[in-house]
Structure 1
Amino acid sequence: MTTPTRRSFTNGPRRSKRSTTGQSSAAKGAVRRGNAPSVTGSALLDRLIHVHPVTTSVLFTPVAAAATALAVTSGGGWSLAGWGLAGYAAWTLSEYWGHRIILHYEPERGFGAKLHYILHGVHHDYPQDARRSILSPLLSIPMVGGTFYLSSVLGGLPLAFGAGYTVGYLAYDLFHLYLHHGKPRNRLLRTLREYHMRHHFRDDTRGFGISAPYWDELFGTSIARLPRGGQSDRAAASGRAA
């Protein structure tokens, strides 16, 4: 099973080779184990860019709870629930398109290539580093903050929309962390984990939905299971990302 070639930030930006079908035509060796080295040259800056998973919960759980409480006190009934679900749905689209367009936009060189590696390339090189499995605050704070700006300052959306969006983001981050570091026991979670591992170890130009893989089906970027007789996705998931 081939996967895209990546080079560490210290040795230069990643340079992937794609075939006409979108599959990677370059292979790399075993995934790097353990924690990634600093990608900025500064331990302090690196810890601000790649936070501990607990930091994400500490930052965004109060935001989601406060926004939900304020939305409930403002009333609205079924309308409130509808806007909350709309906010959650908006997050799942942000997750898909942000992963596909932003995190996998890979310039060949220069600042853009370095930024790509800092924000996402390092996660593909070190998928078992928990701090690289959480969306960087460089992205999460503007995304959540921008949603509340639209909700409150511009008055275009009810506060419940922002609450649903924030809950969706927080659920995604923790779910993504679990897929990399947990040991799913039920069939659904195992299937979702296997699906995400296909993105990491078979073809990173597809499979962008993590908590919402149905968008891959809709937008034509899903990764099917290997046919019988080939290496199973479950073996790849357990052997290369355990």
Structure 2
Amino acid sequence: MKFDKIHNKGQAQIFKNRYLEYFTKTHPLVIWGMYIPIIILLLLYASHTLAFSALKIVLLFLGGIFFWTFFEYMMHRFVFHWVSDNPRIQRIAYVMHGNHHEFPRDKQRLFMPPVPSLIISSLIFLLLYAVIQKNAIVFFPGFILGYLIYGSMHYAIHAWNPKYKWMKPIWRNHHLHH
């Protein structure tokens, strides 16, 4: 999907139905509040019920965080910016990510909203569980924490001016992406 640089401070309308539209928006604290209990519960389950060692938990958890980085790059590069002549694919790409490029200052669409986020993360968990079995119970919380950290940094870049001089190149490079 090709995006033009637009300095629009507005907000995209994804759906005509106001109830569906409401569910396309969120605040970062909602997502953090949704996932932190899941992360804690899965780690406690791995530690107490599955008796995973501390070393195994740390390594799998860190592996999940690092895997998030790879996953996000691949999704962003090959899915979110997918170029297609098919109007349906163009619409899906716009709903998933294109609206963010058209309205980069829309703070309510910098995190995936709760409902699609839970659906997608559940599918990712099931896929991870199919591949790495019980290890997914620790790997997945790391993956989700990677998402939360990335999403929070992304939110900060779009919502605020850089506080420190060393941050300015990071902000500038990201804004060039838009």
| TM-score, length basis structure 2 | 0.83
Q: What letter is aligned with 1:100? A: R
Deviation at 1:52, TM superposition (A): 3.1
| Residue 173, structure 1, aligned to residue 151, structure 2 | yes
Deviation at 1:157, TM superposition (A): 4.5
Identity of aligned residues (%): 23
Change (3 A) 1:163 1:122: same
Change (3 A) 1:157 1:89: farther
Question: For 1:54-133, what aligned pairs fall within 5 Å after superposition?
Answer: 54-73=29-48, 74-133=51-110
Deviation at 1:109, TM superposition (A): 4.2
Q: Which residue of 1 aligns with 2:172?
A: 194
SS of the counterpart of 2:13?
A: coil
Q: Which residue of 2 aligns with 1:156?
A: 133
Change (3 A) 1:136 1:103: farther
Deviation at 1:134, TM superposition (A): 1.5
Q: What letter is aligned with 2:52? A: G
Change (3 A) 1:104 1:37: closer
1: CA distance, partners of 2:53 / 2:131: 20
2: CA distance, partners of 1:115 / 1:128: 20
SS of the counterpart of 1:49?
A: coil
Q: What is the number of residues matched between the two proteins?
A: 175
Change (3 A) 1:62 1:37: same
> If you compute each CA radius of gyration, which structure gives the higher value, 1 or 2?
1
Structure 2: tracts of 5 or more residues without a match: none
| TM-score, length basis structure 1 | 0.63
2: CA distance, partners of 1:93 / 1:61: 22
SS of the counterpart of 2:23?
A: helix
Q: Considering only aligned residues, what root-mean-square deviation do their CA atoms show, in Å?
A: 2.5
Deviation at 1:47, TM superposition (A): 2.1
2: CA distance, partners of 1:147 / 1:37: 28
Runs of 4+ in 1 over 6 A off after TM superposition: none
Deviation at 1:104, TM superposition (A): 0.7
Maintained 8 Å contact 1:88/1:167: yes
Deviation at 1:111, TM superposition (A): 1.4
Q: What letter is aligned with 2:43? A: T
